[in-house]
Amino acid sequence: MICIVVTRGYRSTHQRVCRHLGRSKIRIITYDRLISSKRLPPATYVFSDIDRLSLWDRELAAIYYRALAEGGFPVLNDPAQVKTRFALLRSLHEAGINDFNVYRAGEATATVRFPVFLRRENGHGYPLSGLIETADDLARAIEGAVADGVPVDAILVIEYCAEPVESDLFRKLAIFRIGQAMVPHVCVHDDNWLVKYGKMGIATPALYDDELRIIRENPFAEELKHAFDIAQIDYGRADFGIVDGRVQIYEINTNPHLTPGDSHPSAQRMESQRLFWAKYIDAVQALAGKSLATRALRISDERLKRKQGLRGRLIRSRRAP
């Protein structure tokens, strides 16, 4: 069995998988339940939503991760080591994988390569700005975000790095890591550089042919696995693009939303969706089979006692975008 641990408000991300495999194979539990538990059932545990945790809860989750690992349970995504947005993008740039860099709003910006845009350090909502072309405009954009209530130390300045795959058409690629398995996902196409949800009907048949080739051949698996290793993420989805022939990784989401494959006029897209789902389910079932424990684990870590006692005094976010 697999237990995926999520923050409040994000139980729905894997509902499709739960319906497909059933509760005997996969369950979703919240960090609230995990952190208050004294016994945990035998399973492979996946710690997700790391970037949505408060620092306090992240530390508590990391202690549970260690208790499970020491108890012989398979565990993925160590909350104490997973790199979230800033550390991830900076590390990928320093490793020579990403050509673009990321800065905190308070950092010296003499080396910033314009255009840039602003984004919160955590969460997966839309950016705080459009493309910014000059240092003066950047300063004004940061001031505006702070005036709107965004903490200055939560604002990141990210260099723009994208190019159209065809004239005025942008593409975002994605790949899942599920333990050691790398499973390519279908692409998203949009007529804007900010490719998030995409637009139906704008991709050409040639792009759907290429998408199907990517799903079948998995040409980016080794390069993206290296990026996951740098991020110390064992389960999640990486979103990336191709710029000047090079992979550019934009983020890795540890609690990716798995939406049903919609009906589509392209037969190639329908086949890509079918193949992705089959490969994803195979990888999840293989991961579930790694758990050999047959008894529940009693949690008795001394480090937890004082932290759990103080936990109720903290103000915790119910839902982060």
Host H or E run for residue 249: strand 246-253
Please identify, among 135, 159, 183, the residue that sits at the C-terminal boundary of a domain: 159
DSSP code, position 174:
E
In a domain, 320, yes or no: no
Both 174 and 278 in one domain: the answer is: yes
pLDDT above 80 for 245:
yes
pLDDT of residue 319: 57
Asked whether residue 87 is assigned to any structural domain, the reply reads no
Find the domain containing 204 and state its range.
170-287
Instruction: Give tens-digit pLDDT for 193-205.
Output: 999 888 888 999 9
Report DSSP state, residue 84: -
CA distance 309 to 280: 40
Last residue of a domain, one of 136, 159, 182: 159
318 in a structural domain = no
- Final residue of a domain: which of 114, 135, 159? 159
Q: Are residues 122 and 16 in the same domain?
A: no
Question: Does residue 56 sit in the same domain as residue 150?
Answer: no
pLDDT band at 295; cut points 50, 70, 90: confident
Closest CA to 36 of 307, 302, 254: 307
pLDDT in tens, 96-114: 999 999 999 988 677 899 9
Tell me: do 13 and 60 sit in the same domain.
yes
Let me know whether 208 and 228 are in one domain.
yes
Residue 56 domain flag: yes
Residue 165 lies in a domain: no
Phi, psi of 212 (to 5 degrees): -65, -40
Q: Would 96 be classed as within a structural domain?
A: no
Question: Given this model, what pLDDT does residue 314 score?
Answer: 46
pLDDT of 312 > 60? The answer is no
Residue pLDDT, tens place only, 68-106: 999 999 999 999 999 999 999 999 999 999 999 999 998
pLDDT digits (tens, 9 = 90+) for 122-173: 988 899 999 999 999 999 999 999 999 999 999 999 999 999 999 889 999 9
Residue holding tokens 């790095």?
161
DSSP secondary structure letter of residue 41: -
Q: Please check whether residues 112 and 127 belong to one and the same domain.
A: yes
Asked whether residue 321 is domain-assigned, the answer is no
Both 134 and 230 in one domain: the answer is: no
Nearest to 185 by CA among 251, 279, 97, 266: 279
Q: What is the pLDDT of residue 123?
A: 85
317 has pLDDT over 60 = no
Enclosing H/E stretch for 242: strand 235-243
End-to-end CA distance of the chain: 29
Choose among 215, 192, 203, 176: nearest CA to 264.
203
Is residue 190 situated within a structural domain?
A: yes
pLDDT, residue 307, reads 61
User: Of 180-184, 257-261, 265-269, 305-309, which range is least confident?
Assistant: 305-309
Q: Where residue 233 sits, what CATH number does that domain have? A: 3.30.470
Read off the DSSP letter of residue 296. P
Task: Clarify whether residues 122 and 43 are in a common domain.
Answer: no
Supply the mean pLDDT for the chain. 91
Q: Are residues 188 and 141 in the same domain?
A: no
Considering the domain architecture, whether residues 13 and 37 belong to the same structural domain is answered as yes
What CATH number is attached to the domain comprising 115? Answer: 3.30.1490
Same domain membership, residue 281 and residue 187: yes
Number of domain units in the chain: 3
Whole-number Å distance between alpha carbons of 112 and 160: 10
Same domain, 52 and 139: no
